[in-house]
Structure 1
Amino acid sequence: MYRVRQLAERTPAGRERYLDLLRALAICLVVVGHWTDVVVVYDSSGHLTVIDALTDLAWARPLTWIFQVIPVFFLVGGFANAASLTNSQARGGNVAEWLLDRSARLIGPTTVLLLTLAVGSLVGRLSGADPVQIRTVVSLLTIPLWFLSAYVAVVGLTPIMYPLHRRVGFLVPLVLLVLVAAGDVGRLLGHGRVSGGNFLFGWLVIHQIGFAWYDALRDRTGRAAGDGLRRLLPRRLPTGRPAAISLLLVGFGGLLLLTVVGPYPVQMITVPGERLDNSSPPSLALLALATLQLGLILLLHRPIERWLRRPRPWRAVIGVNAVVLTVFLWHLSAVLLLVGVLNLVHWLPSAPVGGGTWWALRALWVLALAVVLLPLVTVLGPIEMRTVRRTRHRHREPAGTGRADTARTLLTAIGYAGVVAGLVINTMTPMSAPEPLGLPLGTLVAYLIGAGILRLLRSTRP
């Protein structure tokens, strides 16, 4: 608590506290959504099995419009990455050092998760566990990594995409939107592979809008000027009340048109058996939801920013943000631990999905998982907090020769590529694949090489 209070007192006056709240709220809603949706029961043969509550709760699928808040994280990420890159370059920093700083918080906690799962899987395999069962469990525990692979990718592309945004503004997300639409058409026509690029294009659209939000604030404070070309290709997001209401209404109308009238499913998360998936990869329907969320965010910006000037709510936001990635990465491991304990005593309560008893048990289930997650965050959270402190305390950017900077930039890009490739390989590997280490060998090799390069470069700064 002392550390949180200290960070709150040192908060710069000009910090956009609203962004920190949005980041924390987005992750917490995702966690609660997963905990509510994932149901572990005994099947007819007495074995544990995982079912998706939304498969039976068709009426609850529109509620995913509330709990699908990953777009908010990418929106906030775009704003934060643009601000951080701009500040770094203003201090004379280069792209490589900025990328290394941005990777530190993401890579450290993720590496701990992957190594823990690999070691645990190895112990299980040596104890005689079926490698298919090992892979199934690890696949469930690494569900959060699909999001992280996309986010690491857009962070790595920021030094290219933000200058492009500064040049041609909203033309970039417009082109990306067309590519997403083309991918959706391919899926609707039965050519799913055509939509593979949407895994990147969809999230980049939202990330670019975050750039535009940052530029709106930056230009309003007088730190940047517009020229004729920029007036023709606007790059600032309108943030006034009329614009916010318009975005909200357009997003809501688009959602209704695409999901109720059109061919897209109403739910914004993956539900087994559906012909289309709005989140994997992102669809036009998910981007309509992001538009609705953006309008609501802009509408609430000023009153919530004023509220966050109070000490208590701001300390709470700082406390959550200090360990928010740890919470996200380990929240499904808490499910495994709780199920393991309940299974040992042969007491895993269940009820027909959707009934009053089931909802009461769900509330107790979520509360119990929060209790189980707390010690995990207590033990593992300091890893994330240390990386945050180290990056915040770096006020001066190291300088090097042009050739050395080019080499470090190239190695940094290779490191990012390795990390993304490793995470993507894990996501694409079937749950039924017999993986003795739970994780595909390609995941471990690509990820650890990439993470190792990034760590080595951070430790050998000139």
Structure 2
Amino acid sequence: MARVKEPDTAARVPAGRDLSIDFVRAICLPIVVVLHALQMGIGGDPLETFNALDGYPPLATVTWGGMIMPMFFIAGGFAGLITWRRIRERQGSASDYIRTRTLRLLRPTLLAVAATGALLAVFAVFGADDGFLGGFAHRLAEPLWFIVVYLALTAAVPAMAWLYERHRWSTFAGLAAGAVVVDVVVRLTGWPIGYLNWAFIWLFVQSLGFLVLDGWLAKRPLWWHVLVIACSYAGIGALVVFAGYSGDMLGNLNPPTLVILLLGFAQASILTLLQPAFRRLMQIQGVLVGIGALGIYGFVIYLWHTFAMGLVAGVQQAVGLPFPEPLSSGWWITRPFWILAVAAVVVLCCVVVPKLEGILWREPEGSVSIWLAWIMTVVGSIGVGVVLLFGYVPFWQTAAGLALMTMACVALELNFRSRKVE
């Protein structure tokens, strides 16, 4: 494959951009989408939906290396801190950052949620069984957890950057201690406070991305990274064997446990060791173009792949194609066709959705108060959370979630002062 010429590369890639992070984010995305597609189990008479891979032993083994959500958040911390520092250099404020990032996450989510809700309403109109529809709606809503968490983490970047720059190690220690306390309390008492680790653990992992950005990890010797990786996985093994944690990394994800924190440690070092190789790969034109396309359409792919699964399943029902028993030989034989059909719809969405977004939205001008930025981020997150918890059905609850998301977007778009942020 031909290599990119230096002038072309300079013209296409912004100065100072670390393409290894683009590579990681782009490669992780198809893994997540394919996993969700394989997890979508539909079968029985009457039809019902379930996690087709739940309890599937080979998957548990694969997740020790293939559960890449910590890598997503590490890369997100890397990119978020870059964006925040650039805004500060232009004399921008925390409210400018939070407002911009929230709108860029929330507006596409609003459109995707509305489309998926409308698709499920069509299912209901054409007589879909209530039990099937409710279960299917919940399955399609599950990936929205990432949007809720990412909205919160994005809004926290200015504050976390301040702590990172002034109290770096005490911040890491405090977050890790909080995660330990939550896990211990949950295991000893059964109190339902595990969801606090959505903050402690993911903020910790996101802050590892700050260390990657500043080159602190890259300055550590090879033996240091090997030791960190070995100790992290040894710690995970100990938690699984002696403390009763799930041996399936997906079972430690929502809410996240100390297993995910240790996995974040390991993946930060793995990313650091592989960055030079990823940068070399990104000098190959075909790789650069492919990764660039995944980067441009990445959020569309993530938000709309559940809509695509819903549409493909609906068409399959409409034309009378059977749903093979999950994990049967017929099911495995048809999975490539199922994934290709979902991918085809996603590609169509990548063509249509950005054009629709360009018609519907404009870039906001001026600025908003920090309080409005924070409050509307919370309101928008609650709106997504409503759909996540109730799974699109009943539809009035989805309408309530959409209303909250819309209110947040409108408030962030229209409430601005006269100063324009360059």
- Whether these two folds match at TM > 0.5 is yes
Provide the residue aligned with 2:333 in structure 1. Answer: 360
Distance 1:444 1:134 in 2: 19
1:289 aligns to 2:263 (yes or no): yes
Distance 1:111 1:249 in 2: 42
Judge conservation of contact 2:229–2:270 (CA < 8 Å) in 1.
yes
Alignment partner of 1:254 out of 230, 235, 241: 235
Map residues 54-453 of structure 1 onto 2, 5 A cutoff. 54-120=53-119, 134-216=133-215, 238-269=219-250, 277-351=251-325, 353=327, 355-382=328-355, 408-429=369-390, 435-437=394-396, 439=398, 441=400, 443-453=401-411
Judge conservation of contact 2:78–2:212 (CA < 8 Å) in 1.
yes
Judge conservation of contact 1:68–1:268 (CA < 8 Å) in 2.
yes
Partner secondary structure for residue 170 of structure 1? helix
Residues 333 and 313 (structure 1), Cα distance of their counterparts in 2 relative to 1, 3 Å cut: same
Q: Deviations over 1:208-252 (max 9, x none)?
A: 1112222227xxxxxxxxxxxxxxxxxx77554333322221222
Judge conservation of contact 1:206–1:290 (CA < 8 Å) in 2.
yes
Distance 2:180 2:354 in 1: 40
Partner secondary structure for residue 326 of structure 1? helix
Judge conservation of contact 1:64–1:268 (CA < 8 Å) in 2.
yes
Gaps in structure 2 of 5+ consecutive residues: 1-7
Judge conservation of contact 1:145–1:423 (CA < 8 Å) in 2.
yes
Provide the residue aligned with 1:49 in structure 2. Answer: 48
Provide the residue aligned with 2:32 in structure 1. Answer: 30
Q: CA deviation at 1:31?
A: 0.6
Distance 2:407 2:75 in 1: 29
Q: Deviations over 1:81-103 (max 9, x none)?
A: 11111111112112222222222
Judge conservation of contact 2:50–2:139 (CA < 8 Å) in 1.
no
Distance 2:125 2:243 in 1: 51
Query: Structure 2-normalised TM-score?
Result: 0.88
Residues 385 and 445 (structure 1), Cα distance of their counterparts in 2 relative to 1, 3 Å cut: closer
Residues 319 and 39 (structure 1), Cα distance of their counterparts in 2 relative to 1, 3 Å cut: same
Residues 141 and 253 (structure 1), Cα distance of their counterparts in 2 relative to 1, 3 Å cut: same
* Aligned Cα root-mean-square deviation (Å): 3.1
Residues 331 and 89 (structure 1), Cα distance of their counterparts in 2 relative to 1, 3 Å cut: same
Q: CA deviation at 1:387?
A: 11
Residues 53 and 128 (structure 1), Cα distance of their counterparts in 2 relative to 1, 3 Å cut: closer
Amino acid across the alignment from 2:350: V
Partner secondary structure for residue 41 of structure 2? strand
Q: Deviations over 1:157-199 (max 9, x none)?
A: 1111111111111221221111112221232235242223112
Distance 1:75 1:152 in 2: 15
Residues 146 and 21 (structure 1), Cα distance of their counterparts in 2 relative to 1, 3 Å cut: same
Distance 1:337 1:458 in 2: 39
Q: CA deviation at 1:356?
A: 4.5
Provide the residue aligned with 1:225 in structure 2. Answer: none
Aligned length: 414
Residues 415 and 64 (structure 1), Cα distance of their counterparts in 2 relative to 1, 3 Å cut: same
Residues 389 and 25 (structure 1), Cα distance of their counterparts in 2 relative to 1, 3 Å cut: farther
Judge conservation of contact 2:229–2:269 (CA < 8 Å) in 1.
yes
Partner secondary structure for residue 55 of structure 1? coil
Q: CA deviation at 1:460?
A: 7.0
Distance 1:384 1:290 in 2: 34
Query: 51-60 vs 367-376, which deviates more?
Result: 51-60
Provide the residue aligned with 1:274 in structure 2. Answer: none
Q: Deviations over 1:364-392 (max 9, x none)?
A: 3222321232212221144568999969x
Judge conservation of contact 1:39–1:53 (CA < 8 Å) in 2.
yes
